[in-house]
Amino acid sequence: VSILNLFLLSNFWHTTRVQLAQQKILAEIELIDSLQWDGLDGDTIRSHVKLIDGRSAKLRRYLRSRNSPLFDYTDILVEEADKYHYDYRLLVAIALQESSGCKVIPDNSYNCWGWGIYGNKITRFNSYEEAVRTVSRGIKRCYIDKGLVTTEQIMSKYTPGSNGSWSRAVTWFFHRIDT
């Protein structure tokens, strides 16, 4: 009976994940379909067009393939990177290294970066958006402004006990986002 229950739970979990992924895809299709036509004026067709930053589209494609909750926040990730003058892939690459892209985080924390998590202390945010904006500002102030700009330099403060594997993993994710 236990084995059957485990099998049923596994099937339910898998089906739920597939349904959630399908819902995200359908939501994207609905967004595309929702473009409003203003109508015809002689031989001219007017429509509303929203330009999408190619960097955001790259992040969305990659994060969707990883089934990451950050998928819905790519515009904010790019906006924050531009605001604080760092590579738009940095926060995503760190989140992928620290939490498999927000899949393994403390309950109700929205903390994909291990930001302010040490010992028994857990920094919690109210949303992924708040987390992105806070961590982005912290990366700028605590790392970039102090001259820590490469993954190796960031690692020396972010996770000083690492033997270099953290930096290599973050760099690997940087390159994966571009493929």
Could you say which DSSP state residue 118 is in? B
**pLDDT for position 120:** 86
For residue 173, pLDDT over 90 is answered with yes
**pLDDT for position 17:** 72
For residue 8, pLDDT over 90 is answered with no
**pLDDT for position 53:** 64
Q: Find tokens 């390159």 and name the residue.
A: 175
Higher local confidence (pLDDT), 40 or 4: 4
CA–CA–CA angle 56, 53, 141 (5° rounding):
60
Cα separation, 109 vs 118, whole angstroms: 14
Higher local confidence (pLDDT), 119 or 108: 108
Higher local confidence (pLDDT), 47 or 159: 159
**pLDDT for position 80:** 97
CB 101 within 8 A of CB 63: yes
Q: What's the whole-number average pLDDT of the chain? A: 85
**pLDDT for position 23:** 74
pLDDT digits (tens, 9 = 90+) for 52-101: 568 999 999 999 999 999 999 999 999 999 999 999 999 999 999 999 99
**pLDDT for position 49:** 58
Strand partners, 47: 37
For residue 16, pLDDT over 80 is answered with no
Could you say which DSSP state residue 130 is in? H
Cα separation, 169 vs 155, whole angstroms: 11
**pLDDT for position 46:** 57
For residue 38, pLDDT over 60 is answered with no
For the chain, what percent of residues have pLDDT higher than 70? 75
This prediction has a pTM of 0.71
Shortest CA distance to 101 belongs to which of 72, 121, 144, 81? Answer: 72
